[in-house]
Amino acid sequence: MSGGPPSGATEPAVPSPGSGAVDPTPTLGREDVAHVAALARLALSDDELDMFTEQLARVIEHARDVAALDVADVPPTAHPLPVRNVLRADEPRGGLDRDEVLAAAPDVEDGRFKVPRIVGEAP
């Protein structure tokens, strides 16, 4: 397996790659990886940055088959079920035991989660 699943015989219903010819899809470079790593709060060494850039660029390159499709008239699917606004009756009920929950936290004080300084010099 190197080129993805076989194409088989095509039916007219399948849009052909590039038929829209609108979007020369962006490629992913080293500065993109550094940017998303910072957004995701991950620190990368220079070597890791090189490795991830090479690997992620290959995945994004593979995804160009999808990115190149002209599917503007197809609605997106976010979820396989047609469920909306699932609500329950607004009745009070017990939650998790506070001490048991706090016991799993790295640091607590007076029944609350404790974190290092939030306000101060910009991170």
Partner 1 sequence: MNPGALAVAASVRSGERRARAVVEETLEAIAARDPGLHAFLHVAGDQALEAAAAVDRAVEEGRDPGPLAGVPVALKDNICTRGVPTTCASRILEGWLPPYDATVVTRLRDAGAVVVGKTNLDEFAMGSSTENSSRGPTRHPMDPTRVPGGSSGGSAAAVGAGLVPLALGSDTGGSVRQPAALCGTVGMKPTYGLVSRYGLVAFASSLDQIGPIARSVGDAAALFEVIAGHDPLDSTSLDAPAPSVSQVLDAGVEGMRVGLVAELVDGTAPDVARRVRAAAGALAGAGAVVDDVTVPEMRFGLSAYYLIAPAEASSNLARYDGVRYGLRVDAPDVAAMNTATRTAGFGPEVKRRIMLGTYALSAGYYDAYYGKAQRVRTLMIRAFDRAYERFDVLLGATAPTTAFRLGERTDDPLAMYMSDVCTIPSNLSGHPAISVPFGAGDDGLPVGVQVLAPARGEEQLFRAAAVLERAAGEVRS
Binding residues for partner 1, rule: CB under 8 A, are 1-2, 4-11, 13-15, 23, 25-26, 28, 32-33, 35-37, 39-43, 52, 55-56, 58-60, 62-67, 69, 71, 74-81, 83, 86, 88, 96-97, 100-101, 103-107, 113, 115-118, 120-121, 123
**Smallest gap from residue 89 Cβ to partner 1 (A):** 10
**Smallest gap from residue 93 Cβ to partner 1 (A):** 11
Which lies closer to partner 1 via its Cβ, residue 46 or residue 97? 97
Question: Two tokens at 55?
Answer: 């690997």
Task: Bin 85: left if φ > 0, else alpha if -120 < ψ < 50, else beta.
Answer: left
What does each C-alpha distance from 42 to 33, 35, 64, 72 come to in angstroms? Answer: 10, 10, 26, 34
For residues 74 and 19, the answer to whether their CB atoms sit within 8 Å is no
Which lies closer to partner 1 via its Cβ, residue 90 or residue 100? 100
